[in-house]
Amino acid sequence: MTQEAIERVRSSLGRSRLRWSPQREQIVLAFLKQDHITIRSLYGFLNRNGRRTPLNTIYRTMRVLCENGFAQARRFGEETQYDNISTKGDHDHLICTGCGHIVEFEDPAIEELRQQVALANGFHLTGRNLELYGLCAGCRSYPVPPAMA
């Protein structure tokens, strides 16, 4: 994470008429160090480390980060997780339904297939979202309880 990234975020908050404050700076710094994080996890992290960050400030800051292309809200399971896309390109996800582990991946063959399907159906793609669900190796190694077998 560079100072340049912080300045780009700071500038976008200003354009959105949100004041750059020490609290917002801590939110942005904590978020930029993560790949996927929930509001609840971000709130817990900030408050565990001695900062008192209001939940509404975290929500507003994350909304602006999403609106300005630094973050993407994704619904994995029961909670919305915020993906730090400021330093990544487009990517897809493998999501473990057992433990919630997320693996990011990029595959040129999948991207080419997306474009072919869109073209064949007269679409111009403006977004993407591929989420594949299953069990990670760690969760598959646990025995299945008899009631679920």
Which pair of tokens denotes residue 43? 């709130």
d(CA 76, CA 94): 10
Q: How far is CA 118 from the centre of its chain?
A: 25
Annotated binding residue 92: yes
Annotated binding residue 139: yes
Annotated binding residue 7: no
**At a CB cut-off of 8 Å and minimum separation 6, what does 124 contact?**
118
d(CA 136, CA 91): 19
Annotated binding residue 66: no
Which pair of tokens denotes residue 144? 């299945």
Instruction: State which amino acid sits at residue 137.
Output: A
Q: Which residues are annotated as a binding site for Zn(2+)?
A: 96, 99, 136, 139
Q: Which residues are annotated as a binding site?
A: 92, 96, 99, 111, 136, 139
Q: Which residues are annotated as a binding site for Fe cation?
A: 92, 111
